Amino acid sequence: MTRPIQAIIHPAALVNNLLVARQAAPTAKLMSVVKANGYGHGLLRVARALEESDGFAVLNVEEAVRMREAGFTQPILLLEGVFQSGELSIVSELGLSIVVHCAEQIEMLKRAWSPVKLNVFLKLNTGMHRLGFAPESFPSALAALQACAIVGQITLMTHFASADEAAGVGDQLAHFNTLTINCTLPRSLANSAACLRYPETHGDWVRPGIMLYGASPFATQRAADLGLESAMSLVSEIISIQNVKAGAPVGYGGTYRAERDMRIGIVACGYADGYPRHAETGTPILVMGQRTRTLGRVSMDMLAVDLGDIPDAGVACPVTMWGVGLPVEEVARAAGTISYELLCARAERVPVVEG
C-alpha cells in the first residue's frame, strides 16, 4: 500500500499570486524568484504556472540550464552570480544575467571573452551586510563594469533586510538613493514585502518570492488578506488510533502527557518528510478539515494529533499539515520558524501531484 502523504501543488494559486504581484507593482517588470526548486514546489512546474513573468531568478547555472532546456526564453538572473570563471561561457551561450557582488567576479569578467554582451546586476550593500559592494567601493565597481568589454546592460540592485518588519526599508533605501543619485541605470530593489508595502522601491524590476507561493511575508498580516492563495498543501492520513489514559506519555521522551483519557491519531508524516521536528505540542493541524493540534515530539515518519473534538475521525481520515485551510506561515510561527523553511524542506520522498 502506498504511504498516503503527498504534496498537492495548486498551479491556479501560483497564477493568482503572480497577478497580485502584478497589481501591487504595475509599473515594474516581474522577476519571479524560483530558486530552491521553486521553494520546494518544483522548479519547472512553478515556472510553467508563472510563464507570464517578465523574468526569473534562480540560484545557480544548473537551474538556469534546466529552464532554458524546457523552453523558457525570458531573462534569467543568477542571484549569486557565477562561482567560477568557466561558468561564464554557459552564461553567454544561454543569454543569462548575473549578479556581480564582489571584486573577484569583476576580475572574472575582465579576463573572459564572450561573443555577446552579458547583462549584469551590480549589487550594493546598503545595510544588510550579506552580499554586495560597500558604499565606498561602489563607484569603482561600476566604473570597472562599464569599462569591461563583455558587459552589456547594467542594473543596480540591493536587498532589504527588514521590509517585512517594523524597521522597514527607509534607511537602506536612503543609502541606495544617495549612492545612485547621479545614475540613470535600471534598478531592482523590491522583494515580496517591499513589492506589497513600499511602492517607492519598485524601480524597474521587482523580485517577488514567497508571496508567489501563497505565504504572507508579514508576521502580522494573513496571506488571504493580501489576496494570496496557498500553492502547496501537504496532506496525509491517520494510520492508527490510540486510546490513552490520563497521564500517559505520548511520543519520544514523553514530553506530552495526556491531560485526560484521550483519542489520539497517528499521522503518516514526520521530520523525514519535511515537517519540523521542533514543532511543539499545540501546533495547528487539520483533521477532516477541522482544526486541532499536534501532541508530543514529531517522529521521523509520524506525528500525533488530538482527536478529542473530532469523534468521527478514524484510520484513513485526511489530514492537512499546511495549505488550503491552514496557512503555512501559521504552522511555521507555531514551530518557531518561517514559511520559507517549511516549503523548501519538503523531502524528495514526498510525492508531488497537481490539484
CA triplet 133, 135, 137: central angle to 5 degrees? 60
DSSP letter at 326 equals B
Whether 29 is catalytic is no
Q: What phi and psi, each to the nearest 5 degrees, are found at residue 152?
A: -100, -115
Q: What phi and psi, each to the nearest 5 degrees, are found at residue 306?
A: -85, 120
Which residue among 35, 123, 213, 275 is the active-site one? Answer: 35
CB contact at 8 A, 294 and 275: no
Please state, in angstroms and rounded to a whole number, the distance separating the CA atoms of residues 304 and 295: 5
Half-sphere exposure of 213 (CA within 13 A, CB side): 32
DSSP letter at 315 equals T
Which residue among 213, 245, 252, 271 is the active-site one? Answer: 252
Nearest alpha-carbon partner for 267 in 309, 306, 239: 239
Could you tell me which residues are beta bridge partners of residue 257? 249
Q: Which residue has the cell 488578506?
A: 225
Please state, in angstroms and rounded to a whole number, the distance separating the CA atoms of residues 278 and 296: 10
- The four Cα atoms 299, 301, 306, 311 give a dihedral, to 10 degrees, of -160
Whether 213 is catalytic is no
> Which amino acid makes up residue 227?
G
The three cell numbers locating residue 164: 517585512
CB contact at 8 A, 191 and 172: no
Nearest alpha-carbon partner for 95 in 71, 68, 127, 70: 68
The three cell numbers locating residue 196: 506589497
Please state, in angstroms and rounded to a whole number, the distance separating the CA atoms of residues 49 and 232: 13
> Which amino acid makes up residue 299?
S
Please state, in angstroms and rounded to a whole number, the distance separating the CA atoms of residues 170 and 3: 49
Q: Which residues contact 46 (CB under 8 A, 6 or more apart)?
A: 14, 32, 34, 38, 39, 212, 231
Give the residue numbers annotated as catalytic, written as ranges: 35, 252
